[in-house]
């Protein structure tokens, strides 16, 4: 089932067309686990960039000062400034434990030294910093990750994630537990062990991500989305969106379209 999720769910940043960040798709063998590799050069941002919850976690390697950090899945938005040149690896949050045997609970909303999580990370980081081109860094990263990958996973968790996405995030823990024939308590424990968050937390984060992808479509209709994602009313949807995105839905749409146009213009 892990190999099915990436075919129905792809996360989006606040500004997918941001000219300051380049995303590179991983090889097919890593696609169920790694959303993308990404790079950003010093000084590419002309303004701060909104980072939104995307159900992902990142390894970030600073190519200027040779530092590195692991940023776990978070549920808050924040502004980031482009200061240094970095190379990043963005994992789906539920895939991180398949590359490291750490306690998944420690990864949520965390900033951790990757050396404490990933085997032989110091050697890998040095090779990334020494590489001259992005393509070379991506090749090194893919080889490293494939060497770490343990494709075994909890089928109950993966089947539940599949159901959450197919249900547009409009699923209760009771619905999920009945669907896979385990108790709610067992399902809660499995999610905490496999992802580090509760089924409710990941369900709400997925619903927000799907709503964000819905609302940046040209034919977006708020009332249709209220029904599609199971909100009580339009006010409930707007409040929930703002909780994750940091700004209101209408303002987020304006920011997306204005900045998308700006970056499309300046990068030509």
Tell me the two tokens of residue 68.
Answer: 């590195």
Residues 133, 114: Cα–Cα separation, whole Å? 22
**Which range (12-16, 69-73, 149-153) has the least confidence?**
12-16
**Which range (81-95, 177-191, 229-243) has the least confidence?**
81-95
Write down the pLDDT at residue 119: 94
- Model pLDDT for residues 127-157, shown as the tens digit of each residue: 999 999 999 999 999 999 999 998 888 899 9
Grade residue 248 by pLDDT with cuts at 50, 70 and 90: very high
Q: What percent of the chain has pLDDT over 70?
A: 91
Give which of 41, 37, 10, 43 is closest to 25, Cα–Cα: 37
**Which residue, chain included where needed, has tokens 């009771």?**
174
Residues 118, 147: Cα–Cα separation, whole Å? 11
Write down the pLDDT at residue 21: 82
Residues 64, 50: Cα–Cα separation, whole Å? 22
More confident residue, 13 or 259: 13
Grade residue 84 by pLDDT with cuts at 50, 70 and 90: confident
Residues 104, 95: Cα–Cα separation, whole Å? 10
More confident residue, 58 or 16: 58
More confident residue, 84 or 170: 170
Count of CB atoms situated within 10 Å of the CB of 143: 12
Query: What is the pLDDT averaged over residues 61-72?
Result: 93
Phi and psi for 89 in degrees, rounded to 5? -125, 120
Query: What is the pLDDT averaged over residues 96-123?
Result: 89
Grade residue 244 by pLDDT with cuts at 50, 70 and 90: very high
**Burial group, residue 94, by CB count within 10 angstroms (0-12, 13-18, 19+):** buried
Write down the pLDDT at residue 117: 93
Write down the pLDDT at residue 262: 40
> What is the pTM assigned to this prediction?
0.90
Query: What is the pLDDT averaged over residues 196-207?
Result: 95
Residue 63 scores a pLDDT above 50: yes
Give which of 142, 89, 133 is closest to 114, Cα–Cα: 89
**Which residue, chain included where needed, has tokens 């909100």?**
231
Grade residue 47 by pLDDT with cuts at 50, 70 and 90: low
Residue 267 scores a pLDDT above 50: no
Grade residue 266 by pLDDT with cuts at 50, 70 and 90: very low
Longest Cα separation, the chain:
55
Write down the pLDDT at residue 17: 58
Beta bridge mates, 161: none
List Cα–Cα distances, 201 to 155, 177, 212, in angstroms. Answer: 19, 15, 17
Residue 198 scores a pLDDT above 90: yes
Write down the pLDDT at residue 177: 93
- Are the C-beta atoms of residues 63 and 87 closer than 8 Å to each other? yes
- Are the C-beta atoms of residues 51 and 13 closer than 8 Å to each other? yes
Please state whether 230 falls in left (phi above 0), alpha (psi between -120 and 50) or beta: left
- Are the C-beta atoms of residues 117 and 70 closer than 8 Å to each other? yes
Residues 21, 12: Cα–Cα separation, whole Å? 13
């Amino acid at each position: 089932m892990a190999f099915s999720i990436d075919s129905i769910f792809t996360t989006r940043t606040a500004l997918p067309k941001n000219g300051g960040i380049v995303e590179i798709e991983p090889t097919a063998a890593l696609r169920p686990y790694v959303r993308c590799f990404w790079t950003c050069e010093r000084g590419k941002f002309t303004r701060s960039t909104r980072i939104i919850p995307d159900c992902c976690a990142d390894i970030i390697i600073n190519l200027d000062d040779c530092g590195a950090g692991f940023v776990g899945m978070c549920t808050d938005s924040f502004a980031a400034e482009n200061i240094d040149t970095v190379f990043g690896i963005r994992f789906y949050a539920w895939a991180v434990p398949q590359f490291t045997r750490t306690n998944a609970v420690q990864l949520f909303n965390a900033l951790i030294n990757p050396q404490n999580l990933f085997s032989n990370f110091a050697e890998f980081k040095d090779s990334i910093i020494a590489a001259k081109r992005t393509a070379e860094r991506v090749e090194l990263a893919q080889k490293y990750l494939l060497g770490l990958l343990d494709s075994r996973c909890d089928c109950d968790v993966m089947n539940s994630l599949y159901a959450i996405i197919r249900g547009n995030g409009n699923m209760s823990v009771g619905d999920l537990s009945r669907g896979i024939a385990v108790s709610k308590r067992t399902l809660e424990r499995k999610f905490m062990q496999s992802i580090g968050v509760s089924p409710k937390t990941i369900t709400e984060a997925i619903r927000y991500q799907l709503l964000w992808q819905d609302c940046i479509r040209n034919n977006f209709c708020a009332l249709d989305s209220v029904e599609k994602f199971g909100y009580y009313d339009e006010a409930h949807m707007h409040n929930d969106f703002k909780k994750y995105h940091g700004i209101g839905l209408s303002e987020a749409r304006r920011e997306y379209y204005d900045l998308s146009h700006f970056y499309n213009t300046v990068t030509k």
